[in-house]
């Protein structure tokens, strides 16, 4: 692997791409440490030291690399873009116009990308307004010290505009990496922000639980990483053969290929969906913290802390539901079967048309179950660690953090490997 890294940096164009990615990532991380105008940095740091967990905002804070609660210019991170992308993916299934654009190829995809940018900026304005309003009222960190130097309207508007502009710059960074670097730019920026919280989470385990527990956690973490890599690489390959056909004087077809169905076909989207829904009870309790109503007490007991068995069971069930839901809208067996029939393809032993569609649906439903169980178990690891060793809610070896780190790292390594193999070098994965 080290020789592969050396070969990558020996190749001029590949070295230029890698250095360009490192430059953008460095600028990105520096921007995540620059406070927005009007923020009282000293009071913010004081309040952060008192906060035991990130609570309601842990998911957004994770994707911002801790920049959200520090109220920096990149406080919103990549979360508005992720939300906009998910919304557009769901709307493509619902709105015929968007579905038609998706089928138009590169031109249609460019149009959908443009809609995603506009929606990202709209969501950034809403999220920035909410975050700054919470910071101005003191509810963001539940701290008596004022987080802002001035509670005036001008400071409020300047902070909202700054954070929204920061989101636009992050989008631009991601597109620059995709175009001039290696790998998917947005995924690499998410990876950067998640990895940025990793050392702090591990240091907290070492300082609060001791080095012996830290060593045990590291061993368990390596086992979890190996298991995640195994599942992420696992796929069911359905063989497809194409019949020979004569077009003019040329013979086409006669080749064999396969349809790769991954065990984790849905990625981390179900975990994000389920986490977002599980934040709603905590949000309701926060806005009714002075109420003695019975429903507030029930929500506070079962949902706010995130360690109750009822919470874990509902969270696990939601992940399984959203896994099946997301796979059903992203992989259409009927469309695949029709395309195969159109170009003369067939699965050996399965007739073309409806039998092929039924077979693909059967295989997909069977393979989605272990993928859903895998996502549910990985997502429960931080909650279990919270109970056993009193770790924070961003415990690195589990949940969205480990899925993002391993998934993006594997994808980037594969892309570097493919470019190395084009130059007759050995890749990372042998």
The enclosing domain of 226 has a CATH number of: 1.10.3370.10
The CA distance from 142 to 135, in Å, is 9
Q: In this structure, is residue 344 part of a structural domain?
A: yes
Are 112 and 253 found together in one domain? no
Cβ atoms of 204 and 407 within 8 Å: the answer is no
Q: Which of 201, 195, 176, 193 is nearest to 78 (CA)?
A: 193
In 3D space, the residue among 262, 261, 257 whose CA is nearest the CA of residue 240 turns out to be: 257
Mean pLDDT value across residues 419-423: 73
**Residues in a beta bridge with 240:** 257
- Determine, yes or no, domain membership for 360: yes
Cβ proximity of 73 and 166 under 8 Å: yes
Domain closes at, from 196, 216, 235: 196
Per the domain annotation, does 404 fall within a domain?
no
Let me know whether 206 and 116 are in one domain. no
Dump pLDDT digits (tens) for 29-80: 888 888 888 888 888 777 776 654 445 556 666 666 667 777 888 888 888 8
Using the structure block, give the residue that is written with the tokens 């986490």. Answer: 275
Are 236 and 360 contained in the same domain?
yes
Which of 196, 219, 239 is where one domain is finished?
A: 196
Per the domain annotation, does 410 fall within a domain? no
Cα 22 from chain centroid? 20
Q: What's the rounded Cα separation, in Å, for the pair 141 and 134?
A: 9
The per-residue pLDDT for range 91-106, each reduced to its tens digit, is 887 888 888 888 777 7
pLDDT of 164 over the 90 cut: yes
Average pLDDT over residues 332-352: 83
- Do residue 188 and residue 225 come from a single domain? no
- The pLDDT of residue 245 is above 80: no
- Whole-number pLDDT of residue 80: 87
Where helices occur in 197-342 by DSSP H, the ranges are: 198-209, 211-233, 269-286, 294-299, 309-330, 333-342
As for how many domains the chain has, the answer is 2
Helix (H, G, I), strand (E, B) or coil at 395: coil
Six-digit token string for 182: 């290696």
Would you state the pLDDT for residue 53? 47
CB 242 within 8 A of CB 254: yes
Average pLDDT over residues 363-390: 82
| Residue at token pair 């594997």 | 410
- Is residue 215 in some structural domain? yes
Residue 345 pairs with which residues in a beta bridge? 242
Distance CA 364, CA 334 (A): 12
pLDDT of residue 169: 92
Looking at every residue in the chain, the average pLDDT score rounds to: 80
Helix (H, G, I), strand (E, B) or coil at 237: strand
Residue 420 lies in a domain: no
324 in the same domain as 184: no
Per-residue pLDDT of 175-214, as tens digits, reads 899 888 887 888 888 888 888 877 777 777 777 777 887 8
Q: Are 428 and 1 in contact (CB under 8 A)?
A: yes
Please check the confidence at residue 231 and state whether its pLDDT lies above 80.
yes
Specify if 403 maps to a domain: no
Measured in whole angstroms, the distance separating CA 57 from the mean position of its chain's CA atoms is: 15
Q: Clarify whether residues 206 and 303 are in a common domain.
A: yes
Same domain, 66 and 213: no
Question: Rounded to 5 degrees, what angle do the CA atoms 398, 401, 405 make?
Answer: 110
Domain enclosing residue 355, as ranges: 198-397
Residue 54, pLDDT score = 47
Please, is 416 exposed, middle or buried when counting C-beta atoms within 10 Å of its C-beta (0-12, 13-18, 19+)?
buried
Q: What are 177's two structure tokens? A: 């990496």
Average pLDDT of the segment spanning 314-325? 90
End-to-end alpha carbon distance in the chain:
9
Tell me the pLDDT tens digit for each residue of 254-298. 677 888 888 888 888 888 888 778 777 776 666 665 556 676 677
Residues 176, 275, single domain; the answer is no
Q: Which residue has the tokens 């309790």?
A: 285
Indicate the pLDDT class of residue 165, thresholds 50, 70 and 90: very high
Per this entry, what is the length of the chain? 430
**272 and 191 share one domain:** no
pLDDT at 286: 64
Residues 247 and 361 grouped into a single domain:
yes
Residues 240, 344, single domain; the answer is yes
Of the candidates 221, 275, 378, the one whose C-alpha atom is nearest the C-alpha of residue 63 is: 275
- Residues 236, 174 share a domain: no
Q: Among 162, 196, 230, which residue terminates a domain? A: 196
What token pair was written down for 368? 């989605």
Is 417 part of a structural domain of the chain?
no
More confident residue, 121 or 382: 121
């Amino acid at each position: 692997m080290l020789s592969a890294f050396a070969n990558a940096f020996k190749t001029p164009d590949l070295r230029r791409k890698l250095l360009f990615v490192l430059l953008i990532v460095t600028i990105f991380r520096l921007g995540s440490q620059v406070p927005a105008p009007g923020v009282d940095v000293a009071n913010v740091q004081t309040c952060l030291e008192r906060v035991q967990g990130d609570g309601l905002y842990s998911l957004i804070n994770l994707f911002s690399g801790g920049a959200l609660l520090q109220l920096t210019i990149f406080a919103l991170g990549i979360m508005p873009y992720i939300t906009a992308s998910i919304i557009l993916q769901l709307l493509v299934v619902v709105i015929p116009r968007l579905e038609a654009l998706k089928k138009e190829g590169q031109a249609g995809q460019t149009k959908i990308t443009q809609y995603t940018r506009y929606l990202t900026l709209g969501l950034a304005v809403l999220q920035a307004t909410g975050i700054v309003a919470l910071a101005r009222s003191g509810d963001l960190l539940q701290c008596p010290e004022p987080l802002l130097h001035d509670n005036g309207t001008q400071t409020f508007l300047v902070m909202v505009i700054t954070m929204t502009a920061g989101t636009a710059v992050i989008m631009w960074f991601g597109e620059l990496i995709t175009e001039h670097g290696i790998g998917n730019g947005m995924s690499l920026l998410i990876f950067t922000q998640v990895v940025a919280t990793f050392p702090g989470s591990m240091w907290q385990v070492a300082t609060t639980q001791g080095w012996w527990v830290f060593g045990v956690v590291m061993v368990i973490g390596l086992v979890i990483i190996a298991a995640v890599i195994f599942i992420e690489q696992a796929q069911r390959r359905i063989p497809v053969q194409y019949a020979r056909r004569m077009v003019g004087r040329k013979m086409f077809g006669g080749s064999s290929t396969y349809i790769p169905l991954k065990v984790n076909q849905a990625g981390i989207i179900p975990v994000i969906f389920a986490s977002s829904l599980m934040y709603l009870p905590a949000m309701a309790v926060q806005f009714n913290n002075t109420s003695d109503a019975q429903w507030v007490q029930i929500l506070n007991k079962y949902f706010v802390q995130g360690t109750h068995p009822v919470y874990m069971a509902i969270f696990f069930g939601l992940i399984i539901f959203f896994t099946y839901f997301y796979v059903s809208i992203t992989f259409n067996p009927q469309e695949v079967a029709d395309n195969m029939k159109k170009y003369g393809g067939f699965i050996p032993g399965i007739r073309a048309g409806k039998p092929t569609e039924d077979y693909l649906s059967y295989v997909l439903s069977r393979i989605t179950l272990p993928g859903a169980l895998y996502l549910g178990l990985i997502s429960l690891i931080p909650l279990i660690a919270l109970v056993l060793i009193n770790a924070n809610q961003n415990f690195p070896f589990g949940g969205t953090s480990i899925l993002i780190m391993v998934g993006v790292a594997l994808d980037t390594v594969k892309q570097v490997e493919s470019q190395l193999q084009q130059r007759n070098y050995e890749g990372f994965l042998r």
